[in-house]
């Protein structure tokens, strides 16, 4: 169902895509950003060079025009959310579902909501709330992508937002006792586990969800499952264990990963991943700005207490 | 309608959804084969105070229980939202001896009843089951979100929401409670609050289109008969069509098969199902 052959004569407007940063094992560590990147990789695969879409990898939400990831800017308009970005990409001729029937498109729409309802919240809990995973894996993702004061700010913001989403989406109480967030997490994880089993049942023995050809359904599922398969979490790894037991789904993930990201290593990461190769710490100008500000403050403090004067004497 | 409920026992129950797991509670109260208890009570707010999403969920609860042939009684209570452990109306109370089990979430009730093999989805095959769950998520994420947006966030209907939410409350609560509820909602649904109306309506339209395609010209979503999806869809369509929300109503009305599905085919299967329009004051007083 892939429609790779986008005519060169077709005029496509200049687009900019803002996605959450990745590392050497994943193009992005945010499932929705990964879905859009994979969609682009699979639709643009046969084109020689794509100059119409500029992709900006960042973890600083203030660099995205809408403050959320992923965001697509096309013709001066902003598109957020996977469904609306894919809709816009289809308008621009990047259609992976060209051969899908209306019934299949309706099903894709339903599964998109299903994945976002069941797996997105569970991954938010596993990556941003579960204490051990958050400390040992998630913090490592950001430490390489940005510098010290921003790291703390972004981490705490994401942690707070994830907690808020989890607490409000839970079916039960929203009282602020300490055990509630764990209870919500357990509930979300069991729902996610059930969702993975249902997806395995839907995939059956097929290569992709609609037989042998790729569709946006495969991309949506891949975005979540690849992040579960790639990282062996040191804390709660309930979903990883469940996914491993489903061979057909694991093969499905490996197959799409090889197709979309042949250059990315496929391996499990059990501890903090190293910094993103695309954003080395020392090359970031903001790092040197902070070093300069810290130096000036140090000298100013020295002058205030008279240390510098004494040294000069 | 029953009027013998004990709000205190319900509100203070330790067997809420957010506390001990439902399965564990059930093991405590019912060993052996699960049987639907006598005297199940469905609490909800009076229609004047009931908001669009609450009404949709209440109608879905009623339709699902009716379709499943599970007996229950309606209890219209002015303080139903305060009696509910999650603060949400409607909620269902199942009495097992002295320990009630409370479901304040439609989706949790469905998964519980399906797990006990009392529900409607027993005849679905593997693929249909997974599809069924996906379409339920679509309604939850798009239709119910759009209704919540319309009730609490849309500037056009916010004032109406606040005034209906204050209905029946004494002074000064009628001025304080709606605003406190509004700010609480805004804080808890910041993501939805930041979205613009056009994108919410477009998502609502896409979801209606997908559901309309999936339903086609059939009388129910699956050949095997009505399921939780039919009940939920029926509740949502009924609530929107009888609401004052012109935008949602005009979008939904353009999908004739969804409207017909609610009005004709399902109506014939839910004979006796009463959609409460004007509750008697006797039912209100006993629960305040």
Does residue A8 form part of some domain?
Answer: no
Sheet (strand B91-96) strand order: B73-76, B41-44, B91-96, B99-103
Q: What is the pLDDT of residue B268?
A: 53
ipTM: 0.81
Which CATH number characterizes residue A197's domain? 1.20.1050.130
Q: Is it true that the peptide bond before A190 is cis, omega within 30 degrees of 0? A: no
Q: CA–CA separation, B76 vs B236, rounded Å?
A: 20
Is residue B126 within a helix (H) or strand (E), and if so which, with residue range?
A: helix B126-138
Percent of chain A exceeding pLDDT 70 equals 81
Judged by a CB distance cut-off of 8 A, whether residue A147 touches chain B is no
Place of tokens 């090359």: A283
pLDDT tens profile B206-222: 999 999 999 998 888 98
Statement: residue A168 has pLDDT above 80: no
Q: Which of A79-93, A159-173, B97-111 has the highest mean pLDDT?
A: A79-93
Does residue A109 form part of some domain?
Answer: yes
Q: How confident is the model at residue B20 (pLDDT cuts 50, 70, 90)?
A: very low
Does residue A183 form part of some domain?
Answer: yes
CB B200 within 8 A of CB B247: no
Judged by a CB distance cut-off of 8 A, whether residue A121 touches chain B is no
Facing residue for B105 by CB, picked from A106, A113, A171? A171
Cβ contact (<8 Å) for A103 and B190?
no
CB A125 within 8 A of CB A162: yes
| Mean pLDDT of the residues in chain A | 82
Cβ contact (<8 Å) for A106 and B210?
yes
A–B interface: beta-carbon pairs under 8 A = 99
Q: CA–CA separation, A246 vs B95, rounded Å?
A: 40
Q: CA–CA separation, A256 vs A220, rounded Å?
A: 11
Q: How far does B88 lie from chain A, in Å, by closest CA? A: 9
User: Mean pLDDT, to the nearest integer, of A22-33?
Assistant: 89
Q: CA–CA separation, B220 vs B184, rounded Å?
A: 37
Which residues of chain A have a CB within 8 Å of the CB of B17? 171-173
Q: Which of A11-20, A123-132, A154-163, B246-255 has the lowest mean pLDDT?
A: A11-20
Cβ contact (<8 Å) for A113 and B138?
yes
CB A26 within 8 A of CB A273: no
Q: How far does B164 lie from chain A, in Å, by closest CA? A: 24
Distances (CA, A) of B184 to B50, B52, B91, B180: 17, 17, 20, 6
Total domains in the fold of chain A: 1
Facing residue for B18 by CB, picked from A81, A168, A172? A172
Does residue A217 form part of some domain?
Answer: yes
Q: Where do the domains of chain B lie, and which CATH numbers do they carry?
A: 7-119+275-285 (3.40.30), 122-269 (1.20.1050)
Facing residue for B86 by CB, picked from A111, A118, A174? A174
Does residue A21 form part of some domain?
Answer: yes
Does residue A297 form part of some domain?
Answer: no
Distances (CA, A) of B96 to B26, B168, B285: 9, 32, 25
Output the six-digit token pair for A214.
Answer: 């790729």
Output the six-digit token pair for B165.
Answer: 């939410």
Output the six-digit token pair for A62.
Answer: 């203030």
Q: How confident is the model at residue A222 (pLDDT cuts 50, 70, 90)?
A: very high
Does residue A93 form part of some domain?
Answer: yes
Residues 17-36 of B with CB under 8 A from A: 17-19
Q: What is the pLDDT of residue A93?
A: 86
Q: How far does B146 lie from chain A, in Å, by closest CA? A: 14
Q: What is the pLDDT of residue B88?
A: 84
Q: What is the pLDDT of residue B3?
A: 38
Give the domain extent around A118.
15-282
Does residue A288 form part of some domain?
Answer: no
CB A121 within 8 A of CB B225: no
User: Mean pLDDT, to the nearest integer, of B76-91?
Assistant: 87
pLDDT tens profile A189-201: 999 999 999 999 9
Which residues of chain B have a CB within 8 Å of the CB of A164? 188, 190
Statement: residue B18 has pLDDT above 60: no
Cβ contact (<8 Å) for B86 and A171?
yes
* Chain B residue nearest residue A111, CA to CA: B134
φ, ψ for residue A234 (rounded to 5)? -75, -25
Place of tokens 């004047």: B48
Q: CA–CA separation, B252 vs B260, rounded Å?
A: 11
- DSSP H stretches of helix in A144-284: 148-169, 180-203, 216-230, 238-244, 247-260
Place of tokens 């509670």: B25
pLDDT tens profile B85-126: 888 889 999 887 777 888 988 998 898 888 887 777 788 888
Distances (CA, A) of B5 to A20, A236, A275, B74: 52, 42, 60, 11
Q: CA–CA separation, B196 vs B209, rounded Å?
A: 20
């Amino acid at each position: 169902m892939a429609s790779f052959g986008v005519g060169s004569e077709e005029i496509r407007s200049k687009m900019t895509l803002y996605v959450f940063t990745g590392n050497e094992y994943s193009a992005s560590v945010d499932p929705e950003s990964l879905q859009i990147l994979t969609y682009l990789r699979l639709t643009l695969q046969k084109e020689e060079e794509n100059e119409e879409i500029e992709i900006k990898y960042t973890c600083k939400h203030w660099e995205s025009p809408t403050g959320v990831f992923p965001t697509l800017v096309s013709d001066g308009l902003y598109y957020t959310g996977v469904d609306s970005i894919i809709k816009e990409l289809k308008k621009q001729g990047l259609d992976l579902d060209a051969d899908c029937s209306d019934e299949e498109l309706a099903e894709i729409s339903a599964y998109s909501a299903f994945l976002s309802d069941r797996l997105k919240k569970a991954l938010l809990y596993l990556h941003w709330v579960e204490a051990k995973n958050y400390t040992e894996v998630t913090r490592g993702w950001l430490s390489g992508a940005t510098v010290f004061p921003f790291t703390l700010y972004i981490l705490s913001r994401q942690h707070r937002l994830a907690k808020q989403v989890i607490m409000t989406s839970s079916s039960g109480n929203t009282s602020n006792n300490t055990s509630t967030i764990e209870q919500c997490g357990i509930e979300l994880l069991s729902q996610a586990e059930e969702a993975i089993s249902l997806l395995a049942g839907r995939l059956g023995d097929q290569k992709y969800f609609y037989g042998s050809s790729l569709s946006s359904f495969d991309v949506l599922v891949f975005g979540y499952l690849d992040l579960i398969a790639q990282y062996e979490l040191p804390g709660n790894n309930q979903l990883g264990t469940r996914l491993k037991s489903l061979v057909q789904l694991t093969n499905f993930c490996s197959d799409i990963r090889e197709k979309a990201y042949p250059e990315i290593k496929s391996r499990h990461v059990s501890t903090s991943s190293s910094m993103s190769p695309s954003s080395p710490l020392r090359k970031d100008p903001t790092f040197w700005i902070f070093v300069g500000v810290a130096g000036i403050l140090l000298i100013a403090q020295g002058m205030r207490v008279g240390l510098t004067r004494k040294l000069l004497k | 309608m029953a009027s013998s409920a004990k709000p205190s026992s319900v509100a203070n129950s330790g067997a809420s959804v957010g506390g001990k797991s439902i399965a564990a509670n059930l093991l405590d109260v019912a060993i052996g084969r699960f049987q639907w208890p006598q005297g199940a009570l469905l609490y909800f707010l009076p229609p004047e105070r009931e908001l669009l999403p609450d009404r949709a969920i209440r109608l879905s609860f009623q339709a699902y229980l009716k379709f499943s042939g599970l007996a229950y009684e309606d209890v219209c209570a002015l303080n139903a939202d305060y009696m509910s452990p999650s603060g949400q109306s409607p909620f269902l109370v199942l009495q097992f001896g002295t320990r009630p089990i409370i479901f304040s979430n439609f989706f949790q009730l469905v998964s519980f009843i399906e797990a006990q093999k009392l529900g409607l989805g027993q005849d679905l095959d593997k693929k249909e089951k997974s599809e069924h769950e996906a379409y339920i998520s679509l309604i939850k994420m798009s239709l119910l979100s759009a209704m919540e947006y319309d009730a609490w966030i849309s500037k056009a209907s916010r004032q109406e929401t606040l005034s209906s939410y204050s209905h029946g409350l004494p002074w000064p609560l009628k001025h304080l409670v709606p605003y406190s509820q509004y700010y609480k909602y805004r804080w808890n649904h910041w993501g939805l609050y930041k979205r613009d109306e056009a994108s919410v309506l477009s998502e609502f339209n896409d979801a209606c289109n997908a559901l309309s395609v999936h339903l086609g010209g059939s009388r129910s979503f699956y050949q095997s008969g009505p399921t939780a999806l039919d009940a939920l869809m029926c509740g949502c369509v009924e609530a929107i069509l009888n609401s004052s929300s012109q935008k949602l109503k005009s979008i939904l009305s353009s999908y004739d098969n969804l409207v017909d599905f609610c009005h004709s085919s399902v109506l014939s299967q839910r004979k006796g199902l009463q959609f409460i329009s004007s509750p008697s004051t006797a039912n209100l007083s006993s629960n305040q």
